[in-house]
Amino acid sequence: MKSGNGGTVIPPPPPPPAQGVGPADCVGGTADGYPCNAINLAKNIPLADFGAGSGNDIWGWTDPTDGTEYALMGLNNGTAFVRISDPQNPVIVGRLPTNTVAASWRDIKVYQNHAYIVADNAGAHGMQVFDLTRLRGVTNNTSFTADTIYTDIGSAHNVVINEASGFAYIVGASTCSGGLHMVDISTPTSPTFVACHSADGYTHDGQCVNYTGPDADYAGAEICFNANEDTLDIVDVSVKAATVSVSSSIYPNVEYTHQAWLDDTQRFLIVGDELDETRRGGNTRTLVFDVSNLDAPVLLYAHLGTTTASDHNAYIVGNKIYQSNYRAGLQVLEFTNLATDTLVQTASFDTVPDNDDPEHDGVWSNYPFFPSGTIVLSDTNKGLFVLTPE
């Protein structure tokens, strides 16, 4: 592991005004030409304003001192920080350049006011650690350096963080057979390797939590729910030196088990398969599992969406699922009880008006966790979208 100097270089001139569109209310099913339902366009910042060629992941940070909200936008050549507390007038605060080369895959998570950033197919990139409090008061599109570079990995596809335990789980790296590379981040700028969980092979993405769900056998344990390409794997990581593979589940017509997310009760888990629409046809499929028995998850049903778009990342807030469905954009599904298929699409914002084909460009991800209700999207070709639900 090596540390950066934590400083900044001489900033470039402020960026030109955003050349995208917005603000525009969703009226008659469109907002400045983008198909929509119950979601307004506050602003779109195009990739050109970031000096980037493509976009990828997105996450968010809310400053605990004053509630200022920031979008953390993944780019092929780095990460952009955008202040969005005034959604219609977002400010590009600055950028953290890639640690090595440009990469199509970048992933960002936040713990204790620090961003943790990995990149795939990017050589010896490592994991960048950046103190987000350095964004306070900055307005001039500063070029930042990382506070720390964690170098026990090179490239990695994703980083999963359990904020309750202070651990990061780097996945899809060349270490640990691509499985869980477990890092203690309780001291945010001093990440320390602890152990591997490699028994289940490559992990693409996941969610790790301090378990409070209905399975009494695992009360208080730290559990990871992993999307492992062709299986859903559940792992007890409470004891890092002696992790336990709890279960491995398959489902019909598996093509690429991409991502998984729990509901608030930790009884239900939604799973997205990124390639089933592309290879098998049909409408966007959302798999819903009952995981009340962690040793034996049960697939309850596969909900079919309104378009044929491929699904990517999805998150649950309350009784709403926020899905990033590439060419169909953001689709919001509401439910009354996940035990049965009560999912209904109640809101949407489509950044690719031309078609909903099952390709892999368009909306890569979304972040729906801001206290204000603002939602941010990352589009592979069109940059950052700042949205406000009606």
288 has a pLDDT exceeding 70: yes
Q: How far apart are CA 244 and CA 199, in angstroms?
A: 9
Stronger pLDDT, 7 or 227, i.e. the higher one: 227
Q: Are strands 232-236 and 244-249 parallel, antiparallel or unpaired?
A: antiparallel
User: What is the per-residue pLDDT for 303?
Assistant: 98
Q: How far apart are CA 344 and CA 321, in angstroms?
A: 10
Segment 141-154 shows an average pLDDT of: 98
- Give this prediction's pTM: 0.95
Segment 110-137 shows an average pLDDT of: 99
Q: How far apart are CA 296 and CA 292, in angstroms?
A: 8
Q: What is the pLDDT of residues 181-202, one digit of tens each?
A: 999 999 999 999 999 999 999 9
Determine the 3-state secondary structure of 276 from DSSP.
helix
Q: Above pLDDT 70, what percent of the chain?
A: 95
* All domains in the chain, ordered by first residue: 35-389 (2.130.10.10)
Residue pair 336/369 in contact (Cβ under 8 Å)? The answer is no
Segment 88-102 shows an average pLDDT of: 97
How far from each other are the two terminal CA atoms of the chain, in whole angstroms?
46
Q: How far apart are CA 283 and CA 176, in angstroms?
A: 35
pLDDT bucket at 120, cuts 50 / 70 / 90: very high
- CA-based angle 19:23:27, to the nearest 5? 130
Q: Is the peptide bond before 23 cis (omega within 30 degrees of 0)?
A: yes
17 has a pLDDT exceeding 60: no
By CB neighbour count within 10 A (0-12 exposed, 13-18 middle, 19+ buried), where does 218 fall? Answer: buried
12 has a pLDDT exceeding 50: no
Q: 261 pairs with which residues across the strands?
A: 270
User: What is the per-residue pLDDT for 11?
Assistant: 45
Any idea of the CA torsion for 388, 70, 171, 181, to the nearest 10 degrees? -140
Residue pair 302/316 in contact (Cβ under 8 Å)? The answer is no
User: What is the per-residue pLDDT for 19?
Assistant: 57
281 has a pLDDT exceeding 60: yes
Residue pair 342/336 in contact (Cβ under 8 Å)? The answer is yes
Average pLDDT, the chain: 96
Q: What is the pLDDT of residues 307-343, one digit of tens each?
A: 999 999 999 999 999 999 999 999 999 999 999 999 9
Handedness of CA 27, 47, 60, 202 (dihedral sign): positive
**Integer Rg of the chain from CA:** 20
Q: Are strands 69-75 and 34-37 parallel, antiparallel or unpaired?
A: unpaired
Cβ count within 10 A of residue 296: 13
